[in-house]
Structures are given as C-alpha cells and as structure tokens.
A and B are shown apart, each in its own frame.
Chain A
Amino acid sequence: MVERMGSARFWFAAAFIGLLALVPAIAAAAGEPYYVTVFSRIMVFGLAAVGLNLILGFGGLVSFGHALYIGIGAYSVGILSFHGVTSGFAHLGTALAAGAMLAVLIGLVCLRTSGMAFIMITLAFAQMFYFLAVSLRQYGGDDGMSIAARSDFALVSLDQAAVLYYLIFGLLAAALYGLHRVVHSRFGMVLRGCRANERRMVALGFPTLRYKLAAYVASALVCAVAGVLLANLTQYASPAYMQWIVSGDLIVMILFGGMNTLLGPVVGSAAIVIIEDLLTAFRLGLPWGIDAIVSAHWMALLGALIIVVVLALKNGLYGWLVAREAGAD
C-alpha cells in the first residue's frame, strides 16, 4: 500500500493531489470561482469517505450511518453560531467531543452485532438522529438553519473561498497521512486481522472489540470534522446532511475509488460529485428533450452507474490501477 516512486499509481496519486493543490489558482486564471466550491465539496466528502474507509475498507465494518457524524459536525457549527458562539475552535471542539461521546455509545451497541445486522443498526441509529434533527424546531426543523458567518479561527478568515479551500486541503492531507500511519501501525495490523479472521485474532489474545471501537470512534471523528467543514462551506446545517442517502453516497464513493486504498475514497468523491454536477446541468442538445429528462432524473442514471460499478468493477477506479500493478509485479 506504500506508493512506490515511479509506478503509474504513484504518478496518478501525485498528479491528483497536485491538481487539488492548484485548483484555486486554476479557477482564478480561468475566471471560474465556482470550481473552488466544487472542489471544496469534493474534498469535504473525500475527507468523510477517507474516515469511513478506515473501518469499512481496512476493518471490514460496513457502517451505513456515517452521515450521522457529518450532521453532528454541521449542527455543532449551526447551533453554536445560533447562540452567538462564533469561535471555530469551540465549533471544532464541540463537534469532536459530541462525536466521540456518541460514537462510543453507538459503537458499543452496534459492535455487538456483525455483518448484515451491523449495516442495518448503523443505518437505524443515523436515522434516529436524522429525525431528532428534524424535530428540533427552534433550529430550523425540517428545513435546517442557515449559518450567519463562517467559523472564526482567529488567525485566518474563512470568508475567502481560497482560504477555506486550503484549510480543507490541509485537513484532508493530514487525514490521509494519519490513515497511512495508522494502517501500517500495529493497531492497523490488528484491525486488518479482524477483517480477515476475527476469531483467530481473539484466539491470539487480542481484545478485538476495543480495537474495533477505537477505529469506529476515530472514523466518526474524521466525519465530524468533515461536517464542520461542510457547514462552513455551505453556511447551512440541515437534516439532509444526515439522510441515509448521504451514508450510501459515502460508501459508493469508497467503492468507486477503491476500498483498501488510501486515496481511493477521494478519487471516488471526485467522480461522484463531478458526475452529479455534469448530470444536473446536462446540456448536450440531444433531441426529444432528453437533456431535460436527464437533468431532472439524473439520480436514476447514478443508480444505474452504481449497479454497473458494483457488478463489473470490483476494485473501483483507483483500486483498478492498484490491482493492475499488483498483477504486473
């Protein structure tokens, strides 16, 4: 999993990250500030997907409810701002504290199950907080709440899109580096061992529940940070962020990009967000009003694409590159 110098995968990864680093400059040169927003979105969801990938790809725990933690992050910003607390450190601290507390409690219950039941119960818990957010009438209820100003991080002002962009970029890079270290540490080995054969790990004397819980909480916290960033990006906190479609999207991103790879989820996020953007603004001038049908019903095309990718492209886009190289060795 170490990116080797000179391999096709190394160059792809380097080019991808280099491109992400240059987006604000390119957008400014092209006079299209909209690109900065799109790529900020890509990286925010990429960050959440990277977090989820820790337990999904490396731990084999399919959580269908990680949108919950994105919502926790977003509502930490929203609710604190509503009450006049604008400090970004307070937002981030609240998101991490609330996320950690919830993740420990929910993780303890969910990890009592495995396989199919784990998928369903994580989904149900996320749904529970979705309905909780909907019922919070003083915080916008169903519609969500707009956030007057972005988090105030004292030294830097996030009001400039480029500054927010590089904050997200920096956090994403840190998360990728952190995941790289974790996966190759003893902790990561135990986690991957649990995925391969948990019984054997128990027999070897590892308290597997503790490892899985720690991984679950860590991945939840990454998603909470992504939620804080998402709220800052859109200046909005809405129950829609916790919808189960979002949890599904995160898994789809991981699968698109490639499970068990470091950068795969970010590549997948880029693919999904760009596809979504292209389809909603579909203007090819096709006859019989196909353009309008595609842009109105793009979700159906996304669904079909998901099915095709699952059935045909087992390793995902980036994972395909990895697998091809492994075969060539």
Chain B
Amino acid sequence: MTSSLFFTQLLNGLQLGILLFLLSAGLTLVFGIMNFVNLAHGSLYMMGAYFAAAAYRWSGSFIVAGLIAVPATLVLGLAVERVALARLYSRDHLDQVLTTFGLILIFNEVVRFVWGSAPVYMNVPSALAGTVSLFGLPYSAYRFAIIAVGLAVGAGLYLLIHRTRIGMLIRAGAANGAMVAALGVNIRLLNSLVFGLGAALAALAGLMAGPIFAVQPGMGEPILILTLVVIITGGIGSIRGAFYGALLVGVVDTVGRAFLPGILREFFERAIAQAAGPAIASMLIYLLMAVVLALRPKGLFPVKHG
C-alpha cells in the first residue's frame, strides 16, 4: 500500500515538475538571451489557462482549446513584448522587475473584469478521463498525458536549441548578443522569437494545468515563485538546469507534502508533528534552494559562457 502510494506521489511530483519545466524553460531562455527578467511570465500562464477554458467551453474540444489558447497567448506575449518590454532590455533589473510587476497587477484585474473573481473549472477531456496501468498500478491518464507531452516538448526543445540553425543563434545570442548582431543577425527578431516561444510554452502549461488547478485570477503568482526557485536551483539561463531543477522541485515538493507529516509523527509527539509537518513541508523546496546555493552559488547546472 505505502509503496503504491509513494509511486503515485512520485508521478504526481513528476507531473508538477513537467509543468514547472514548461514555464521555467521560457523564463530562463528569455533571461539567458536578453538578460531580462519577466515576472509577468506567470500572467502569460494565467492568460493561456483562461483562453483555453473559454475556448474549451465554446468548442467542447480540448484540442481546439489548445489550438486557440497557445497561438492567442503567443500573440499576446509578442504584443506585450513590443509595446512595453522591448525598451527595457537595456535598463537595469530593478526597472524590469517593477514594470513586469505592474503588468501582473494589470493582467489580474483584466481577468477579473472579463471572467470574474470566481474560479473557472475545466473538465478533463473525456478521452483521458480514465486511468492507465503503470507497472500494474492505476494512474490518472490525464496526468500521465501531461508527463508525456512535457517530455516530448523537452526533447523538442533540446533538438531545437542544439541541432538547428535557430537554436545555434539563440545560444550565440545568449553568449554574446552584440557580436551576433554585428554578424548581421536580426537580434530584435531573435528576441521576439524567444519571447514568443516562452509565451507559447507558458500557454501550454496553462492549458494542461487548467483541469487540475482552479483557473482563477492570480493563479500565475504561486507558480511563478516556484518557477523562480526552479531556475535559481537549476542555474539561471540553462535549459538543462531548468529541466532537472523543475523535476527536482516538483518531486521534493509533492513527496514532502505527502509524507513528511507522517515521518515526523514517527519521531515526535502527535501534536508537534501535526503542527510542524505541513509547515516544514511547505518550506522544503526553499530549504533545498538555500542548500544548493550555499554549495553552488550559480546553481546545479551553471551556464558556461566564452
């Protein structure tokens, strides 16, 4: 019983990690290539989820919802980048943080205005409503699909970054943007492309998270903070770091929340364990991050430049 529960929680952690990876990949790419921090990345995730929920309700098809939500968020991301963010690339980080902080406030209110404050619920698509059997244990087919899609996207990103000309330019842009521009590459276009890619990945995460979490105003912020923890732990600017960091954070968080209270009960009195268990479990990933930073200030997989 315990081992099957552990296995299920491990998969749930993996699934959370995959969602985090989709978000951190975009954020870390944008940071790596443009030296720009986009706190409004969580808002793009939220917009993706809302677009998906609206399109799903309208069409009744999850595929159609995805086909609408991802391009819509991509266009939104590009518009935001052109209008507000592009002029901030040369400014210092404080200005970038504050502007994107302002954007978060705006996006949250826009969502509240259009869709209201109450959560919007999305059903799991009927084809994935059942369970799949993994090593003889039943597991939610929908969550399993998230893991599969995420791994496929991860592999696709790896190929894109390491095996294509665009990917080569992205890597070159991250190492030395001015030099790439001097060699005749349109770095502005490249920036927009990377930003759009990040927005699309955030929308994909929002689409897939819709049926699991409640779609509501402000849903982007908790996950944004987790994403920041992921990219700090993994190493800022590194896709590989984002991947392993996301899986690590997802698994530690989920498994910790599920089992830490029980483990504490073995060692302490019931009252103490009941009070301290959830508290420590919710702090676990931050402690993980602190330990990683104390040992390796540049994260687990630091980017090597030059």
Among B98, B99, B290, find the residue whose CB has the most chain A CB atoms closer than 10 A: B98
The segment from B45-53, B100-108, B137-145, B160-168 that touches chain A is B100-108
Chain B, range 228-253, C-beta contacts under 8 Å to A? 228-229, 231-232, 236
With CB as the reference atom, state the residue of chain B lying closest to A121. B232
Residues of A near B109 (CB, < 8 A) are 297, 299-300, 303
Given A120-B228, A244-B221, A244-B225, A304:B94 Cβ within 8 A: no
Given A137-B275, A244-B225, A303-B102, A115:B93 Cβ within 8 A: yes
Least distance between A167 CB and chain B CB atoms (Å): 32
Least distance between A303 CB and chain B CB atoms (Å): 3
The segment from A19-27, A128-136, A156-164, A198-206 that touches chain B is A128-136
Given A62-B97, A307-B99, A310-B95, A302:B228 Cβ within 8 A: no
The answer for the CA separation of A61 and B94 in the assembled complex, in Å, is 10
B154 within 8 A of A: no
Residues of A near B93 (CB, < 8 A) are 62, 115-116, 119
Chain A, range 55-97, C-beta contacts under 8 Å to B? 56, 62, 64
The segment from A29-37, A173-181, A248-256 that touches chain B is A248-256
A307–B102 touching, CB < 8 Å: yes
If over half of A's interface residues share one DSSP class (helix, strand or loop), that class is named, otherwise mixed; here it is helix
Interface string of B145-183 (1 = CB under 8 A from A): 000000000000000000000000000000000000000
B278 within 8 A of A: yes
A281 within 8 A of B: no
Residues of B near A132 (CB, < 8 A) are 279, 282-283
A148 within 8 A of B: no
Residues of A near B128 (CB, < 8 A) are none
B101–A131 touching, CB < 8 Å: no
A135–B278 touching, CB < 8 Å: yes
The answer for the CA separation of A244 and B87 in the assembled complex, in Å, is 25
Least distance between B101 CB and chain A CB atoms (Å): 5
Residues of B near A115 (CB, < 8 A) are 93
Chain B, range 55-111, C-beta contacts under 8 Å to A? 84, 87-88, 93-95, 97-99, 101-106, 108-110
B99–A310 touching, CB < 8 Å: yes
The answer for the CA separation of A66 and B37 in the assembled complex, in Å, is 19
Residues of A near B229 (CB, < 8 A) are 124
B102–A306 touching, CB < 8 Å: yes
With CB as the reference atom, state the residue of chain B lying closest to A298. B109
Least distance between A144 CB and chain B CB atoms (Å): 16
From A119, A304, A311, contact of B97 by CB (8 A): A119
The answer for the CA separation of A307 and B96 in the assembled complex, in Å, is 10
Given A124-B225, A252-B98, A303:B282 Cβ within 8 A: no
The answer for the CA separation of A120 and B98 in the assembled complex, in Å, is 13
A138 within 8 A of B: yes
A127 within 8 A of B: yes
B259 within 8 A of A: no
* Interface residue range, chain A: 35 or more
With CB as the reference atom, state the residue of chain B lying closest to A306. B102
B267 within 8 A of A: no
B87–A311 touching, CB < 8 Å: yes
Given A131-B282, A132-B282, A293:B113 Cβ within 8 A: yes
A109 within 8 A of B: yes
Given A62-B93, A119-B37, A297-B112, A128:B103 Cβ within 8 A: no
The answer for the CA separation of A119 and B290 in the assembled complex, in Å, is 14
Least distance between A249 CB and chain B CB atoms (Å): 9
With CB as the reference atom, state the residue of chain B lying closest to A56. B94
B294 within 8 A of A: yes
A211 within 8 A of B: no
From B31, B35, B102, B278, contact of A304 by CB (8 A): B102
The answer for the CA separation of A176 and B105 in the assembled complex, in Å, is 31
With CB as the reference atom, state the residue of chain A lying closest to B237. A116
B236–A127 touching, CB < 8 Å: no
Residues of A near B101 (CB, < 8 A) are 248, 251-252, 303, 306
Chain A, range 134-174, C-beta contacts under 8 Å to B? 134-138
B221–A124 touching, CB < 8 Å: no
Residues of A near B279 (CB, < 8 A) are 132, 135-136
Given A121-B232, A124-B286, A113:B297 Cβ within 8 A: yes
A124–B105 touching, CB < 8 Å: no
Residues of B near A125 (CB, < 8 A) are 286, 290
Among B84, B95, B99, B105, find the residue whose CB has the most chain A CB atoms closer than 10 A: B105
Residues of B near A4 (CB, < 8 A) are none
Residues of A near B95 (CB, < 8 A) are 310-311
Instruction: Given contacts A132-B283, A300-B108, list 15 more A-B pairs with CB under 8 A.
Output: A109-B293, A119-B97, A120-B231, A120-B232, A121-B232, A124-B225, A124-B229, A136-B279, A138-B275, A248-B98, A252-B101, A302-B105, A303-B101, A303-B105, A306-B98
In the assembled complex, 21 residue pairs joining A and B whose CB atoms fall closer than 8 Å, in A order, are: A112-B293, A113-B232, A115-B93, A116-B236, A117-B232, A117-B236, A119-B37, A119-B97, A121-B232, A135-B278, A135-B279, A135-B282, A136-B279, A138-B275, A244-B225, A297-B113, A303-B101, A303-B103, A304-B102, A310-B95, A311-B95
* Closest 4 pairs between A and B when the two form their complex, measured CB to CB: A303-B105, A300-B109, A128-B286, A306-B102
